[in-house]
Structure 1
Amino acid sequence: MADLDRVLVLAGGLSPEHEVSVHSGRSVAEALRRLGVEVQVTDVDSGLLNRLAADPPQVVFPVLHGSAGEDGAIREVLELVGVPYVGARPDSCRLAYTKPAAKALLAEKGVRVPRGATLPKSAFHDLGAPALLDRLADRLGLPLFVKPDRGGSAFGATPVASVSDLSAALVSCFAYSDSALVEEQVQGTELAIGVLDTGDGPVALPPVEIVPDGGVYDYAARYTAGRTEFFCPARLDESVAAAATEVALTAHRTLGLRDFSRTDIIVDADGEAIFLETNVAPGLTETSTFPMAAAAAGLDFAVVCRELAHQAYLRG
């Protein structure tokens, strides 16, 4: 590891997840510094390319959430300037970030996904919102869950108990994306399962069971200490936990990811694992599930960050 001594952490960005990214970036930087790695933390701005050209780091560690950070754009830029970076390549990011596409690929692999429909804002304007709302409820049943077709941190995501609530949920969703993913609301145990690959192939970390105090794992529940109870490993039968971790590994492989990821899953009353989405840049804050799962696996978060950075450095 002696040849890795200078890492640039990208954190911040212009997405609604800016603050989460800043906190994640701080966690990664502090972890690497504890191991003697020189770290610079910077945001994505008009001066980034000049800084990369004038004084290229050995490795870039992107911890950008939301658009640009997870849709592959910033990684395309890093590819263009030839700087090694931690995480998935641009094409894989695009697949994972577009939730309907990721669901379709996982369904082809035999993984169960929620029934749903993806509709752009224009469809409700052109075809008439009342008729579409009624048809969605008839087709998918109630309760429903509405979320942007892209994005994270539960921005614009709303559970819907009645048709009368559906319109407001869509308005909230369209504030973050031009298309809405409307799904059946699957009831069960909510899990976040990290996958880590430091060179010997992807390995699933212990599943984290999520129990938000208000019943909904929204932004406040995710990032406010004490608002959510976590159990790691999750309180599941061994066979159920194994099936759920296999879904996370299947998602990581199917989407062509590398280094690390986090997949969100619901285990229903019958013990079946249902894929929700996969995140290529999982939160790395003090309340995030990925560091929690790494600790439960007996891994030092700082060492994990250094190994990921070193692996990227060796990729060149």
Structure 2
Amino acid sequence: MTETFPAQTRSLVFRLLETYCERNGLRLTAADPHGHAGLVESPAGKRSFFKGTRFDLNSYGAAEIANDKAYAALFLKQAGLAVPTGRFISGAEIRDCKRLPDTVLDFAEQTGFPLFVKPNTGREGRDVMRIDTYHTLQNALHILAKRHDQLLLQEEVKGTELRVIVLDGEILAAIERHPPKVEGDGHRTLAELIDAEPRINATDSRLDLELSQHGRHLETVPAPGQTVTLLPVANLSSGGTARIVTSQLSPGLAAIARRAAETLNLRYAAVDLILPDERHPGTPAIILEVNAAPGLSNLSRQGEREAALVESIYAALFAALFVM
């Protein structure tokens, strides 16, 4: 039995959960018109809450550590797993100073540009910026310090991004992700090419920054066939693209993903890896971050195969969660 609102307003998670509950005799109650939160109850009275993609599966403490990029990197590194070199920065120490703290400047000098600056907590690549000069670093930190109390400065690790989804030690999926790109035709400007791509947010302020660092601007006309990368992140919510590579995942990478989830005491997690490019053979995969409540809606919208994969992931998740 399900207590819900009009079907067209419900979230993907809720719609899939609704089908699962109907098939398994569970009562589902929505807490809002979109089904962003709710309650599942068994005939025996067992209750399980959810909000967004957060379920009563991972413990609260483990999920909080995973959500904090600096803490998560600390524990992953202590476990012998490779993570980017980083520096935690308090937003308060940036907001009221005209000159960046020496600790930040020293990190930039020792690590070298380009660097990434990002919120220490957050999802979907929001406000992640790639910077290549001290001037850009100062501007980026001041902008983000107005929005976030905690920031993280990290080295750039070049390579292919891979998201591996783990549930109780089982690999549910491996998805290769690529940043948003457009291909030139020799006639249209980058602004026009971007406007023609519905997945890319043309108002994203990072577009100007990223293009300028490569000597381009929105009025640049790329040559026919020339591919231009628009953002430094591969998140699907930012217009990135995905390719399912589960069958090609090596045992070594699967083991790293399992160890990362186990290290942070997560039953369910998406482990984001950077696989160094061919110019650095033998370099281990680096764990960019671990997400305790990964969103899969954008992946589902990529196509029929991706939608089927997302449904199978949630089916496995629900089965593990609602064992009554």
* Shared fold (TM-score, shorter chain, > 0.5): yes
1:134 deviates by: 3.3
Alignment partner of 1:208 out of 169, 172, 175: 175
Equivalent position SS for 1:207: strand
Q: Which amino acid aligns with 1:59?
A: S
1:180 deviates by: 1.1
In structure 2, distance between residues paired with 1:123 and 1:160:
19
Q: How does 1:60-209 map to 2 (within 5 A)?
A: 60-63=49-52, 86-124=56-94, 129-130=99-100, 132=102, 133-197=104-168, 202-209=169-176
Other-structure match for 1:284: 296
CA contact (8 A) 2:236 2:298 kept: no
In structure 2, distance between residues paired with 1:235 and 1:217:
27
Q: 1:234 to 1:135 in 2, by over 3 A?
A: farther
TM-score by length of 2: 0.67
Q: 1:7 to 1:195 in 2, by over 3 A?
A: farther
CA contact (8 A) 2:85 2:154 kept: yes
Equivalent position SS for 2:93: helix
Q: Which amino acid aligns with 2:176?
A: E
In structure 1, distance between residues paired with 2:75 and 2:305:
28
The alignment status of 1:32 with 2:17, answered yes or no, reads yes
In structure 2, distance between residues paired with 1:62 and 1:116:
31
Equivalent position SS for 1:87: coil
Alignment partner of 1:222 out of 236, 244, 254: 236
CA contact (8 A) 1:252 1:261 kept: yes
Q: Deviations over 1:39-60 (max 9, x none)?
A: 332259xxx99xx9xxx87322
In structure 2, distance between residues paired with 1:294 and 1:285:
9
Q: How does 1:45-64 map to 2 (within 5 A)?
A: 58-63=47-52
In structure 2, distance between residues paired with 1:235 and 1:163:
43
CA contact (8 A) 1:118 1:181 kept: yes
In structure 2, distance between residues paired with 1:125 and 1:30:
43
Q: Which amino acid aligns with 2:177?
A: I
Q: Which amino acid aligns with 2:106?
A: R
Other-structure match for 2:213: none
Alignment partner of 1:272 out of 277, 284, 299: 284
Equivalent position SS for 2:294: coil
1:7 deviates by: 9.2
Other-structure match for 1:261: 269
Q: Deviations over 1:193-234 (max 9, x none)?
A: 11123xxxx212332111122443659x5236xx33211107
Q: Which amino acid aligns with 1:134?
A: L
Q: Deviations over 1:12-37 (max 9, x none)?
A: xxxxxxxxxxx9x7112211333425
1:118 deviates by: 0.4
CA contact (8 A) 1:147 1:157 kept: yes
TM-score by length of 1: 0.68
Q: CA RMSD in A?
A: 3.7
Q: Deviations over 1:222-248 (max 9, x none)?
A: 236xx3321110796x5xx33222222
1:268 deviates by: 0.8
In terms of fraction of residues, the more helix-rich structure is: 1
In structure 1, distance between residues paired with 2:300 and 2:141:
27
1:302 deviates by: 5.4
In structure 2, distance between residues paired with 1:58 and 1:6:
14
Other-structure match for 2:257: 248
1:294 deviates by: 9.0
Q: Percent identity?
A: 23
In structure 1, distance between residues paired with 2:321 and 2:246:
29
CA contact (8 A) 1:147 1:181 kept: yes
Q: Which amino acid aligns with 1:229?
A: T
Q: How does 1:230-241 map to 2 (within 5 A)?
A: 230-233=242-245, 241=250
In structure 1, distance between residues paired with 2:127 and 2:156:
15
In structure 2, distance between residues paired with 1:92 and 1:293:
28
1:116 deviates by: 1.2
Q: Which amino acid aligns with 1:243?
A: G
CA contact (8 A) 1:114 1:275 kept: yes
Q: Mind listing any 5+ residue stretches in structure 2 that lack a counterpart? A: 182-228
